[in-house]
Structure 1
Amino acid sequence: MEILLTDRAVKWFEDELALESGDSLRFFGKTYGKTEVHEGFSVGISVEHPDADLLGKTVLNGVTYYAGAEDDWFFSRYDLVVDYDEKKDEPIYHFNSNE
């Protein structure tokens, strides 16, 4: 699994969550909502350091963005692309097949 973030998404996370170099942001699957590929589930985020088992990670401006192995059920078969929705002033998540 790859995790890709646009510059606009990175700026939003840094500004809204006051992320600094050395911080970590976890992406995970949560109940309720929907994504392009999941009905009844959406993407959750939390500022927390990763455990040893990761599905994917990327480091930008010293911040680690990752998904843990416990969320394989949610991210399996997809790469996560995070962009920024100007109208809603929030991140938007895209799932690209990696099969």
Structure 2
Amino acid sequence: MKITITAAASQWFHEEMGVTTGNGVRFFGKTYGKTAVHSGFSIGVMRDDEPHRPIASTTVDDVTYYVNDRDEWFFKGYDLTVDYDAVNDGPKYDYTPNQDV
């Protein structure tokens, strides 16, 4: 799994979540909702500065974005791209199939 954070998304996380150098942002699967590839589940995001056994991570503007091993079920088979959605004034999540099945 690969995580990509665009510059616009990074700016949103800095401005709206207050992340700064050395902070972390965790993506996870949660019940209820819907994504482009999941029905009954949606993506969650929270500030968490201490990754626990990450399966994927990337650092952008000195902030680490990651997924822990306990959320592998939600992301298995996909890469995640996080961009900024100006219409909704928040993150937009795109899932791209990969070979990690």
Q: Deviations over 1:26-73 (max 9, x none)?
A: 00001111111000111101111201x111000011100000000011
Q: CA deviation at 1:21?
A: 0.5
Q: Which residue number in structure 2 is paired with residue 60 of structure 1?
A: 60
CA–CA separation in structure 1 for the residues paired with 2:39 and 2:20: 33
RMSD, aligned α-carbons: 0.7
Deviation of the 1:20 alpha carbon:
0.4
Alignment of 1:43-54 (within 5 A): 43-48=43-48, 49-51=50-52, 53-54=53-54
What SS does the aligned partner of 2:14 have?
Answer: helix
Tell me the number of residue pairs that the alignment of Structure 1 and Structure 2 aligns. Answer: 98
Given residue 8 of structure 1, which amino acid in structure 2 is its aligned partner? A
**Structure 1 alignment gaps of length 5 or more:** none
CA distance in 2, matches of 1:47, 1:6: 18
In structure 1, the partner of 2:40 is: 40
| Unaligned runs of at least 5 residues, structure 2 | none
Q: Using the aligned pairs only, state the percent identity.
A: 46
- Flag as ranges the 4+ runs of structure 1 deviating above 6 A: none
Aligned to 2:24: 24
**How does the TM-score come out when normalised to structure 2?**
0.94
Tell me how far apart the structure 1 counterparts of residues 79 and 57 of structure 2 sit (CA, whole Å): 11
| Equivalent AA in structure 2 for residue 79 of structure 1 | D
Corresponding residue SS for 1:32: strand
